Structure 1
Amino acid sequence: MFDESVSKKIHVPLVLSMFIGLLTILINFFYSVEDIRSEVYSSQSKELRAAYVNGLREKKVIALTNVINLSSNYSIIESLKSQDRNVAIAGLQTLSRKFKEQTIYKNIKVHLHDANLRSFLRTWDVEKYGEELAGFRKTLRDVKKNKKAIATIELGRAGLLVRGIAPIENDGVYLGSVEFMQGFNSIVKNLRKNREYETAFLMKEDYLSVATALSSSPKIKEFVLAVKEKNVDKDFLNSLKGVEIEDTKNFQISDEYFLVSEPIKDFSNVIVGYALIGEKTSMVETVIAKAKSSLLKQVYIIFFIDIIILIYLIIIVRKKIIRPIVDMEKMAQELSL
């Protein structure tokens, strides 16, 4: 009886404390699961934003690099210098063919402007020229004033475009400027191919008076699609009807997609539209499940180690404490007889 009494007084608190410790670990696990979800959502939203920002930065670098090279093109300089459009037409046709054969750019758009900021040559519409541009092309006025190449987003009849614009000078004389234009379709394609992300570029409906080429594009709330519809996943496009397009601070979850919104700002830093970047919610949930599984494995390991420690302590306590006490009690009883 004495053996059992001592054993209970030592073992029960030991087991109880171990049980409380394990219970604390389990409670912490469930709280940690929610923390994991929040951390994954945060990290995934940052990755989506970074992917878009990097894609846009790459676009601007390409625009700037190409337009700087074009500003040194002999045909362009001689054409503006002599005011002979045919020289530039022939030179740019050759250049366009080389781009098509040797690069991913199959249909480059180059626009030349004369020193008075009038349209001199459009490669996609050579018969249209002479238009006065100074009144509504702030970028051209900036390039003429500062004599420095720029890469920016600017609205036009075709919608939202990344434009590289560089000054053209000859012996210190300002001859005009050259413009290299790109759309956003390649960003949509590259993010899908490289990251399995879906992307849609939306322009504010208010600008349709300028971007007349987008008048028949799909509309979502107060916005219109600013890239080719065939390049955007239909399910992703439909999912945008249920999200806050102008919410650029928080991530959002639709029926099928986890997504974020990034503002599209023009040369004057005015928001002209939004880029929506997303991935399947199933992909995000997979990341969360893997993190939870890893955490659960840690809980199992801790539980297993705690059980081993408990068993070890019980054996040690029994051998080193309980048994000597019981032996001493028996000895005391024998001496008292």
Structure 2
Amino acid sequence: MNLADRLIGKIDKIVFIFTVVVLFLSFYFVYTLKQSYAQKETVQSLDNALFLTRNLLEEDQQHALSLSLLLSQDKTFLEAFYKNDRKKAFDIISQKIESLQKLQGYSFEVQVHDKNLHTYLRSWDYSVKNIPLASFRKGLVLVKERKKPLVSIEVGKRLNIKAISPIMKNGSFEGSIEVIENFGHLRKTLAEHGYALLILLDKKYLNIATTLQHHPVVFHQFVLVNDSYDKHSFQSLKHSNLKNLQSYGYFTQDRHAFAYFSIKNFTNQNLGYFVAVFENSTPLILKTHDEVSTEETNNSGVIIQ
């Protein structure tokens, strides 16, 4: 092989190597851009999930509060209540619930309390009455003291939205009426937007939330509140490390992305977490975030937590 042939061979080899390097860098650049775009899209979807879940939860709380205020001022109910006609009051409440549920599509229950904060009636069980509640229902005590309505998420036998309005007569506290809503409407609405909702309660409240004692446990610390849930999302959540969850944040596991925020009651205690989930194929490590949660009071004096 002469010098010219050897030179051409070297040039061809250099061109080949250069071409391979350029192609590799091009593919890597395209792949990086694609991954970057996918990650930005995932973060945007997580932001949307967080924003949507919080807004829908606030709407559900406001809805419960509106119903509570409405029922606490219903003339036919108040007439029966002041006459201590439990049967008539129960029938009126039952009719109102049936009518409002058909009209608005929300599922809710109602409990009425007397001036001593004892159970006056429950919409789901007429036989229950005269149970003292003040020792473990601090929200009722607060409503009686302030004579102002309160809406919050509370732990009872279940975890619910509870909106309590005082029953007032000539400036005097005569009792209160409580609207109790579960999170079925919230789960349904999120599902329509492509998100599953998993609700976690800290296990330390299981001595109160007795109906949840046999629900699935997550990460040895939380119990799943949902009666129904997306099994694939739940399995991914079970494999996640939830040790360092903060006030809110994002994380991914397997093929799912999670946006979460803490559940606070009206005394600002952390009860657990709302977790919105969607399928995601982009591997992504996301840091958690932290924020200060404070009690908010609007101009009408209604406490919203």
TM-score per shorter chain, which class? 0.7 to 0.9
Aligned to 1:87: 88
Say which SS state the counterpart of residue 106 (structure 2) adopts. Answer: coil
Q: Distance in 2 between matches of 1:125 and 1:72?
A: 22
Question: 1:30 deviation in Å?
Answer: 6.7
Aligned to 1:48: 49
Query: Are 1:199 and 2:219 counterparts?
Result: no
Say which SS state the counterpart of residue 41 (structure 1) adopts. Answer: helix
Matches for 1:127-276 after TM superposition, within 5 Å: 127-157=127-157, 159-193=158-192, 195-221=193-219, 222-229=221-228, 232-245=229-242, 247-248=245-246, 249-276=248-275
Question: 1:60 deviation in Å?
Answer: 0.6
Q: What TM-score, normalized by structure 1, do the two folds share?
A: 0.70
Q: Distance in 1 between matches of 2:181 and 2:30?
A: 50
Q: Distance in 2 between matches of 1:75 and 1:225?
A: 40
Q: What TM-score, normalized by structure 2, do the two folds share?
A: 0.77
Aligned to 1:319: none
Question: 1:103 deviation in Å?
Answer: 2.9
Q: Distance in 1 between matches of 2:101 and 2:38?
A: 46
Against the structure 1 CA distance between its residues 170 and 250, is the aligned structure 2 distance closer, same or farther, given a 3 Å change threshold?
A: closer
- Considering fraction of residues, name the structure with more strand: 2
Aligned to 2:122: 122
Question: 1:250 deviation in Å?
Answer: 4.0
- Consecutive unaligned residues of structure 2, counting only runs of 5 or more, are 1-21, 284-305
Question: 1:57 deviation in Å?
Answer: 0.7
Say which SS state the counterpart of residue 243 (structure 1) adopts. Answer: coil
Against the structure 1 CA distance between its residues 250 and 94, is the aligned structure 2 distance closer, same or farther, given a 3 Å change threshold?
A: closer
Asked if 2 retains the 8 angstrom alpha-carbon contact of 1:152 and 1:266, the reply is: yes
Question: Please, what is the CA RMSD of the aligned residues?
Answer: 2.3
- Consecutive unaligned residues of structure 1, counting only runs of 5 or more, are 1-21, 286-337
Spell out, residue by residue over 1:135-161, the C-alpha distance to the aligned partner (whole angstroms, 9 max, x if none): 11111111111111121101101x210
Q: Distance in 1 between matches of 2:115 and 2:185?
A: 32
Q: Distance in 1 between matches of 2:269 and 2:241?
A: 19
Spell out, residue by residue over 1:52-110, the C-alpha distance to the aligned partner (whole angstroms, 9 max, x if none): 1011111111111111101111233223322221221121122123124333135x310
Matches for 1:7-18 after TM superposition, within 5 Å: none
Name the amino acid aligned to 2:230.
D
Asked if 1 retains the 8 angstrom alpha-carbon contact of 2:249 and 2:261, the reply is: no
Q: Distance in 1 between matches of 2:173 and 2:121?
A: 17
Larger-gyration structure (1/2): 1
Question: 1:34 deviation in Å?
Answer: 5.5
Against the structure 1 CA distance between its residues 264 and 85, is the aligned structure 2 distance closer, same or farther, given a 3 Å change threshold?
A: same
Query: Are 1:278 and 2:287 counterparts?
Result: no
Identity fraction in percent = 27
Spell out, residue by residue over 1:20-78, the C-alpha distance to the aligned partner (whole angstroms, 9 max, x if none): xx99x969877655553443333222111111101111111111111110111123322
Name the amino acid aligned to 2:261.
E
Aligned to 2:72: 71
Question: 1:168 deviation in Å?
Answer: 0.7
- Considering fraction of residues, name the structure with more helix: 1
Question: 1:216 deviation in Å?
Answer: 1.8
Q: Using the TM superposition, name which of 38-47 and 132-141 deviates more.
A: 38-47
Against the structure 1 CA distance between its residues 31 and 233, is the aligned structure 2 distance closer, same or farther, given a 3 Å change threshold?
A: closer
Name the amino acid aligned to 1:200.
L
